[in-house]
Amino acid sequence: MNLTTLPVIDLLIIFGYLAGMVIIGVYFSRKNKSADQFTTASGKIPGWAIGLSIYATFLSSNTFLGVPGKAFGSNWNSFVFSLSMPLAAWVASRYFVPFYRNTGEVSAYTHLEHRFGAWARTYAVVCFLLTQLARMGSIFFGIALSLQALTGYSMESIMIVVGICIIIYTVMGGMEAVIWTEVVQGVIKTIGALIILALVVKGMPGGVSHIIEIGQADDKFSLGSLIPDFTQSTFWVVLLYGFFMNLNNFGMDQNYVQRYHTTTSASEATRSIWLCVYLYLPVSLIFFIIGSCLYAYYQTNPELLHQVQMQVVMERLPNGSTSELNQLASTLSAADIGDKVMPHFMVNKIPAGLLGLIVAAIMSAAMSTISSGMNASATVFSVDIYQRYIKPDLTSTQTMRLLYIATTVFGLLGMLTGVAMIGVKSVLDIWWMLSGIFAGGMLGLFLLGMIAKKAKNTEAVIATIIGILVICWMTFSKQIPDEFAALRSPFHQNMIMVIGTLSIFLTGVLITKFKTKS
């Protein structure tokens, strides 16, 4: 099976989109004569374009595919993550944007060395780079999952082709190409989401009222339990996780911090954050609605539901007999097949011409986040590792060469991480878990440096070590043998981000207060 399974019109749209992204990279390559241009576009991008690009980075293929899969498999509990964004955006626009604009440092982590020493900066950089690899890997995996169903190509091959296109335009065009391609990609994927929603509703017998009826019967619209229980994914667990994760995104993530320097003023940077929030909140809700609509659609089309179930069981038991496959299919829950439903619907129910646009939308959802991740990772590696520890006196030509090489290497590493993720149950779950682990310590240390003005190096070291131990305990507590089950963490995995951050921050504050009193 190959790409000829797609109609010619769809192929033309897909290849036209990929060619357009590369052309944008070639166009902006003429401007890339300095590291400042490559990393911050010389600070001349309008705020509305930055807002659209931040929105496009948020709206990754994890949202495009993982969110409908999550809504199909459970409910709207994960939408609470989006509801936490306005509060995190307010904190970022009030405190973080002026802070970064005043420092003038392109790296988000240089400040940590001024506060606590080189170890703090290096620790944050390592956490950031691991977070980026987890993000890029999960997005490569998500796009390969959907395009495999459409093209018949292996997931590895899809990751390589898409990855090469991203590397070309990101390396050639730098940050300016990343931003303007994201503006285009943000528009394409929003249109794609609306088209999918319209097609599902149109194909549903009984229309919207029947979708609501089925959704209410199976509790598909719930935002989670309001009980103050932190051992399961309640409303409060996702709200806390979302607040801390979005605070990390807006306040510590190089992807976003770097954009604050690409605008002409601090007020423009602030406007870009709020534009992102105003766009992301309703559009992320659309993806949850799509998941609920798909659930109702497949409940009323049991033959299509069975096809998806058989697709999943054949991946799990490739050599199983018919009776074994049917038996396993009967045990699958909605959560087991959630990520497969959207690609299946696209293959079977989206007409020629529109399918190419939807594929381009999914590719744009992946490419926008990966390209910004590659550029940010290369910037951090160049400024915080290579020029800090290996060769501080680089010439302009050497700096540009380093940025080109680093961008390419991080793109390739992201691809390899995606390949390693093949077979995971929920792409959204794996991303949330990995990002929470790596980002928790980084945000806790940063907040300690910004808020606790009297905290010094010793307090920060002790607090970070305690925080890392807490994060490791919560992450790996399931591996603790049954005889020591009482030592396992009782908290839901999304609380790793919350408790890890607070462990570092509060420990540092308490030690500082104790030292000043004694």
Q: What would the pLDDT profile of 215-224 be if each residue is shown by its tens digit? A: 999 889 999 8
1: pLDDT strictly greater than 60 = no
Between 296 and 337, the more confident residue is 296
Q: How far apart are CA 214 and CA 473, in angstroms?
A: 41
**Cα radius of gyration rounded to whole Å, the chain:** 23
**Confidence grade of residue 56 (pLDDT, cut at 50, 70, 90):** confident
330: pLDDT strictly greater than 90 = no
Q: How far apart are CA 81 and CA 83, in angstroms?
A: 5
Predicted confidence at residue 214, as pLDDT, reads: 92
- Written as six digits, the tokens of 516 are 């000043």
Averaged over 314-329, what is the pLDDT?
Answer: 78
Averaged over 13-26, what is the pLDDT?
Answer: 83
Cβ 114 vs Cβ 258: under 8 Å? no
- Written as six digits, the tokens of 363 are 């590719």
Amino acid present at 317: L
Predicted confidence at residue 235, as pLDDT, reads: 95
Largest Cα span, the chain = 76
Q: What would the pLDDT profile of 125-167 be if each residue is shown by its tens digit? A: 888 888 888 888 888 887 787 777 777 778 888 888 888 888 8
**Confidence grade of residue 289 (pLDDT, cut at 50, 70, 90):** very high
Cβ 328 vs Cβ 313: under 8 Å? yes
Predicted confidence at residue 2, as pLDDT, reads: 40
Averaged over 230-239, what is the pLDDT?
Answer: 93
Minimum mean pLDDT range among 102-106, 120-124, 403-407, 472-476: 102-106
What distances in angstroms separate CA 163 from CA 16, 53, 336, 339, 368, one per listed residue?
16, 19, 28, 21, 12
Averaged over 344-360, what is the pLDDT?
Answer: 83
pTM of the model: 0.82
Predicted confidence at residue 274, as pLDDT, reads: 94
Q: Please report, in angstroms and rounded to a whole number, the separation of the first and last CA atoms in the chain.
A: 73
